[in-house]
Amino acid sequence: DVKVTQSSRYLVKRTGEKVFLECVQDMDHENMFWYRQDPGLGLRLIYFSYDVKMKEKGDIPEGYSVSREKKERFSLILESASTNQTSMYLCASSYSLRGTYSSYEQYFGPGTRLTVT
Amino acid sequence: QQQVKQSPQSLIVQKGGISIINCAYENTAFDYFPWYQQFPGKGPALLIAIRPDVSEKKEGRFTISFNKSAKQFSLHIMDSQPGDSATYFCAASRDAGGTSYGKLTFGQGTILTVHP
Average pLDDT over residues B74-90: 98
Task: Tell me: pLDDT of B27 over 60.
Answer: yes
Average pLDDT over residues B100-110: 88
Per-residue pLDDT, B1: 54
| pLDDT, tens digit, 9 for 90 and up, residues A66-98 | 999 999 999 999 999 999 999 999 999 998 766
Per-residue pLDDT, B95: 61
Please tell me the distance from the alpha carbon of residue B79 to that of residue B14, in angstroms, as a whole number.
9
Average pLDDT over residues A34-57: 94
CB-CB under 8 Å, B107 with A42: yes
What would you report as the CA-atom Rg of chain B, rounded to the nearest whole angstrom?
Answer: 14
C-beta of residue A58 within 8 angstroms of C-beta of residue A46: yes
Average pLDDT over residues B90-115: 85
Report the residue from A43, A96, A97 with minimal CB separation from B89. Answer: A43
Q: In chain B, what residues touch A44 (CB-CB under 8 Å)?
A: 106
Average pLDDT over residues A96-106: 70
Please tell me the distance from the alpha carbon of residue A102 to that of residue A100, in angstroms, as a whole number.
5
Quickly state the pLDDT bin for A105 (edges 50, 70, 90). confident
The residue that leads in pLDDT, B52 or A48, is: A48
- Which residue in chain B is spatially nearest to A91 when comparing CA positions? B43
pLDDT, chain B, mean: 92
Average pLDDT over residues A95-110: 77
- What are the C-alpha distances in Å from B56 to residues A29, B48, B67? 30, 11, 9
Please tell me the distance from the alpha carbon of residue B27 to that of residue A109, in angstroms, as a whole number.
28
Task: Tell me: pLDDT of A43 over 60.
Answer: yes
Per-residue pLDDT, B52: 85
Report the residue from A56, A92, A104 with minimal CB separation from B34. Answer: A104
Report the residue from B6, B45, B102 with minimal CB separation from A108. Answer: B45
C-beta of residue A51 within 8 angstroms of C-beta of residue A66: no
| pLDDT, tens digit, 9 for 90 and up, residues B31-76 | 889 999 999 999 999 999 998 889 999 999 999 999 999 999 999 9
CB-CB under 8 Å, B32 with A104: yes
Range from A13-27, B43-57, B95-109 carrying the lowest mean pLDDT:
B95-109
- Which residue in chain A is spatially nearest to B1 when comparing CA positions? A59
Q: In chain A, what residues touch B43 (CB-CB under 8 Å)?
A: 4, 90, 92, 108-111
Per-residue pLDDT, B66: 95
Per-residue pLDDT, A100: 61
Please tell me the distance from the alpha carbon of residue B62 to that of residue B64, in angstroms, as a whole number.
7
For B86, the 3-state DSSP assignment is strand
Per-residue pLDDT, B94: 81
Per-residue pLDDT, A96: 77
Per-residue pLDDT, A91: 98
Amino acid (one-letter) located at A2: V
Average pLDDT over residues B16-34: 94
Average pLDDT over residues B3-23: 97
Strand partners, A78: A19, A64
